[in-house]
Amino acid sequence: MGERTSYKPGTFCWSELSTPDQQAAKSFYASLFGWQSDDRPMDDDTVYSMQLIDGKHVAAIAPQPQQQREAGVPALWNSYVSVDDADAVAARATELGANVHAPPFDVFTAGRMAVIQDPQGAFFMLWQPRDHIGAGLVNAPGALVWNELQSPDLDASASFYADLFGWKVEQFPGMEQRYLGIDNDGAHNGGMRELEPPAPPSWLTYFGTEDIDAALAKVGELGGMNIAGPIDIQMAKIAIVADPQGAVFALYAGELEP
């Protein structure tokens, strides 16, 4: 299992669900992945629900902001990238043509973050860790295993993220279709593929599972939806699903890195 106590800058480090029904989402993912909730008060009426496996943080389930609900934004998974300096990286993102949707701000003593929309339209978060590094467990059943960008312009996306984070982005070995692998300082850090409309540009979050067929059946039993899969990619089987509130994520059953 991939226990973590720190992340190199440029590494995906945290996944956070933004949902209109926090309690229902907590029940769904607890049943699917065995997550346990550690609720942290944000104010008198709101909690940020950290999700645990064996006492280690793996993700969070947060209430969707009211302004997003009113705007019709669907439930969604947010992907966080660890950085040394959120302010400097946000400024660089602006120079590269991105929209800083939420300028850097402190999250109590946990860290400092910003919300960025890349030039092709996909959102992601910057995370400058302080008390909270991100996930304490990755690359394990029920934990984050992969992040995948769906982009309408792969070349432009590859250039943007390479300039922003120093990623090395190139064709993934053994793939017939165009699929770009992300290397961050010598470590695998996700991939990029061409957008398939009507899906919007976005980062897709993958969670590990031991049995793809059993996981898909469980998703259905719990009121979720199978969007695609299972798909055999030789090294693993994957599937794209949605939870009962409509948040899209992926399942991965196969070889996992440490």
pLDDT in tens, 153-182: 999 999 999 999 999 999 988 777 899 999
pLDDT tens sequence across 49-106? 999 999 999 999 999 988 888 778 889 999 999 999 999 999 999 999 999 999 999 9
- The distance between the two most distant Cα atoms of the chain, rounded to a whole number of Å, is 53
Quick check: 169 and 189 in contact, CB under 8 A? no
Q: Which two tokens stand for residue 63?
A: 């209430």
Alpha-carbon gap, residue 215 to 245, rounded angstroms: 18
β-bridge partners, 115: 102, 125
Whether the full predicted model's pTM is greater than 0.85, yes or no, is: yes
Three-state secondary structure string covering 82-126: ECCCHHHHHHHHHHCCCEEEEEEEEECCCEEEEEEECCCCCEEEE
Q: Are strands 123-129 and 225-232 parallel, antiparallel or unpaired?
A: unpaired
Q: How many CB atoms lie within 10 A of CB 129?
A: 21
Q: Which two tokens stand for residue 246?
A: 């409509």
What the chain holds in terms of domains, given with CATH numbers, is 2-129 (3.10.180.10), 138-254 (3.10.180.10)
pLDDT for 26 beyond 80 = yes
Q: Are strands 76-82 and 123-129 parallel, antiparallel or unpaired?
A: parallel
β-bridge partners, 14: 80
